[in-house]
Structure 1
């Protein structure tokens, strides 16, 4: 449960940080939008270190699915564009993949 909460918080921090750059460069907002965005991206990176995983790459790979789902939530909530069935189906496939990565049995021998 802790991992799921950390992943959701990390996704929100990453999306907010990236959106600050988008707002500056694509929406014509002030360059000062980047300052909280950089802080948000640093929080995102720190949060990913809180995930219980034996390898960083595995934690990052599984996080990718959460990011995809959170991005679709952002699409709907912030950009007022409802995800379609292909968006939702793709997100479901990603979540299954993340579950396999995180929960799959691991061999003790490398």
Structure 2
């Protein structure tokens, strides 16, 4: 929850809380660096081209952490952080829909 509004980034239409929706914002995290220039791990490869944005050795497609609890989704028993384990949660991705889409 980057902007502290109580809405997880994965569900927030305005991640940085600047009043500009994410799809129109060129700096989603509000750090002054345009998204297309972000390089989270400082390896010289912009995040949008980097297969491992944070440089932890785990490819980004395996490193997703929907609820921001520090546990990658592929290891997380509660992906959306609502306190209901995925195996019994009809809405295990926290999108308000009981399907997997």
Pairwise same-fold verdict (TM > 0.5): no
Task: Give the greater-gyration-radius structure (CA).
Answer: 1
Query: Larger relative contact order (C-alpha < 8 A, sep ≥ 6)?
Result: 1
Higher-helix-fraction structure: 1
Q: What TM-score do you get using the length of structure 2 for normalisation?
A: 0.28
Q: TM-score, normalised by structure 1?
A: 0.27
